[in-house]
Structure 1
């Protein structure tokens, strides 16, 4: 019964996809079967794996920098209430800003290549992780900091041994959001100014009207994003305190 409940949504989505394909025709929407065949063909092409490797490398660096920067800055601002109160509205406004408008500036600073993709990915993922960390520290009972002071722990000892374990679940929730947004940022960067990566492949397919390839890449990226999110969600549940 549990397996059936997990299969209901994918089956409904596949049925809706097939119905849309039949309604608009193959020139506007490839069928699920044609998309699966195209995806299999892409995965058997060595050139596709080079593009996958380029995207994976840029994404890994972006997510690492977003996590380190977001958690580190969140700890610094969260431990200083005044700094946190001043920084939060500024960060919220920066987060609401369309990042695409800043891409010319990113290209000017980092040039064409991996560095600009990594920077654009970090721009998307860092602020959500920072805000989740900051707000988690704000809601933390003061007894944690009092205990750290009574033990005469330094700042980094307090952060590593007291604060991070206490807010690990909330931080991981921020990383889950940052995971998806960082991937989006890297892909957008590849679409605008790159000759390698899955974003570049998608733009190339759009240019020639290759609907099957576009959908195949969308399915591949969706599977990766869903799998990563599910793993982070499971890890987050394990880190939550049990009554």
Structure 2
């Protein structure tokens, strides 16, 4: 199946509409929302300070650790559950219900186990990002046509060969879709962790800006995070479109 390429003109039009809405809301209530121009100027000034990049580094470090654990754990568990249809059918509703649970309610438990600092932020990021990757991977395995496994067994392929030649090409697009979602959610989890109990990071700066009512700082950091999330998702989406999509799925 051919993947549609994004339309640059359509994307540009959507951005113009969003900026127009942003400016309109600012004109209606300037105390609650900074203007696009003021926000960009504030972000540019912040990016010229060393403290801003220290916070970016702190958040980035926690995000990288969270993603590594979430991706590795999600793929491993997804492959294990997907290999057993009964286990997958039992696990899926449990995972969905766990994911719908508000993670903030578990933060006191996370702090009790991991304490203050980097470990708790990483744990909170993993809690947000692991389950989507797991579910996407598991469903990718379940959708592989059984005839391909029977053909692999008839050709006396080893488990390693089946994994590399049958399972991996089939689940890779699903895994990347899960990683795209897990990336954004892990970032959200890390930021929430920094807002609750941290003295460093962009989440901590967001919390300070909210407590002080500093709308300009709040909007500038939010703009930076939005641009970072969009860039990360765009890179993952581009990589996913370049992958071959073999017809290994059940109809």
TM-score range, shorter chain: over 0.9
Are 1:16 and 2:24 an aligned pair?
no
Q: Secondary structure of 2:207's partner?
A: helix
Q: Shift of residue 242 of structure 1? A: 7.1
Q: Shift of residue 3 of structure 1? A: 4.5
CA 1:38 to 1:182, structure 2 compared with 1: closer, same or farther past 3 Å?
Answer: same
Supply the distance in 2 between the matched residues of 1:91 and 1:3 (Cα, whole angstroms). 37
Could you tell me whether the CA contact under 8 Å between 1:144 and 1:163 is conserved in 2?
Answer: no
Q: Which residue of 1 aligns with 2:179?
A: 175
Could you tell me whether the CA contact under 8 Å between 2:133 and 2:179 is conserved in 1?
Answer: yes
Are 1:139 and 2:132 an aligned pair?
no
Under a length normalisation based on structure 2, what TM-score does the superposition of the two structures give?
0.91
Report Cα offsets for 1:72-128 as digits up to 9, x if no partner. 000000001121112111111101111110011111110101111011100001001
Number of residue pairs matched? 241
Are 1:119 and 2:119 an aligned pair?
no
Q: Which runs of 5+ in 2 are unaligned?
A: 1-6
Report Cα offsets for 1:179-207 as digits up to 9, x if no partner. 11111101100000011110000001111
Q: Which residue of 1 aligns with 2:94?
A: 90
Q: Which residue of 2 aligns with 1:74?
A: 78
Matches within 5 A, 1:202-241: 202-241=206-245
Q: Shift of residue 18 of structure 1? A: 1.3
Residues 82-91 or 157-166, more deviating? 157-166
Report Cα offsets for 1:197-233 as digits up to 9, x if no partner. 1000000111111101101111100001111111111
Supply the distance in 2 between the matched residues of 1:142 and 1:204 (Cα, whole angstroms). 54
Runs of 4+ displaced beyond 6 Å: none
Q: Shift of residue 156 of structure 1? A: 4.6
CA 1:185 to 1:168, structure 2 compared with 1: closer, same or farther past 3 Å?
Answer: same
Are 1:32 and 2:11 an aligned pair?
no
Are 1:48 and 2:52 an aligned pair?
yes
Q: Which residue of 1 aligns with 2:134?
A: 130
Q: CA RMSD in A?
A: 1.6
Q: Shift of residue 38 of structure 1? A: 0.7
Q: Which runs of 5+ in 1 are unaligned?
A: none
Q: Shift of residue 151 of structure 1? A: 4.7
Could you tell me whether the CA contact under 8 Å between 2:125 and 2:188 is conserved in 1?
Answer: yes
Under a length normalisation based on structure 1, what TM-score does the superposition of the two structures give?
0.94
Of 46, 59, 64 in structure 1, the residue corresponding to residue 68 of structure 2 is: 64
